[in-house]
Amino acid sequence: MEKRDVKYLEAKARLVREGIIRAIGVNQRGHLGGSMSCADLVTALYFYKMRHWPEDPEHADRDRLILSKGHSVLAQYAALAHCGYFPPAALETTKQLGSFLQGHPERDRTPGVEANTGSLGQGLSIGLGLALAGRLDRRDYRVYVILGDAELAEGQVWEAATAAAFYKTDRLIAIVDHNKMQATGRIPELYDVGPIAEKFRAFGWRVLEIDGHDFAAIVDALDAADQSTGQPVAIIAHTVKGKGVSFAENVASFHNGALTEEQYQQALREIAGDGV
Residue 134 interacts with another protein (CB under 8 A): yes or no: yes
Residue 68 Cβ, how far from another protein at the closest point, in Å? 10
**Span near another protein by CB under 8 A; candidates 35-43, 116-124, 236-244, 258-266:** 116-124
Number of residues that bind another protein (CB under 8 A): 31
Taking alpha carbons only, the member of 249, 251, 269, 267 closest to residue 259 is 267
Looking at the Cβ atoms of 117 and 263, the one nearer to another protein is: 117
Looking at the Cβ atoms of 90 and 163, the one nearer to another protein is: 163
Residue 72 interacts with another protein (CB under 8 A): yes or no: no
Residue 95 interacts with another protein (CB under 8 A): yes or no: no
Residue 204 Cβ, how far from another protein at the closest point, in Å? 14
Looking at the Cβ atoms of 81 and 113, the one nearer to another protein is: 113
Side chain identity at residue 134, one-letter code: G
When binding is defined by CB under 8 A, the residue of 5, 10, 92, 159 that contacts another protein is 159
Residue 162 interacts with another protein (CB under 8 A): yes or no: yes
Residue 98 interacts with another protein (CB under 8 A): yes or no: no
Residue 79 interacts with another protein (CB under 8 A): yes or no: no
Residue 67 interacts with another protein (CB under 8 A): yes or no: no
The DSSP code sequence of the chain is -----HHHHHHHHHHHHHHHHHHH-SSS-B-HHHHHHTHHHHHHIIIII----TT-TT-TT--EEEESSGGGHHHHHHHHHHHTSS-GGGGGGTTSTT-SS-SS--TTTSTT--S---STT-HHHHHHHHHHHHHHTT----EEEEEETGGGGSHHHHHHHHHHHHTT-TTEEEEEEE-SEETTEEHHHH-----HHHHHHHTT-EEEEEETT-HHHHHHHHHHHTT--SS-EEEEEE--TTTT-GGGTT-GGGGSB---HHHHHHHHHHHHTS--
When binding is defined by CB under 8 A, the residue of 40, 63, 114, 270 that contacts another protein is 114
Looking at the Cβ atoms of 59 and 186, the one nearer to another protein is: 59
Residue 116 interacts with another protein (CB under 8 A): yes or no: yes
Binding region for another protein (CB under 8 A)? 60, 106-108, 114-119, 122, 125-134, 136-137, 155-156, 159-160, 162-163, 166-167
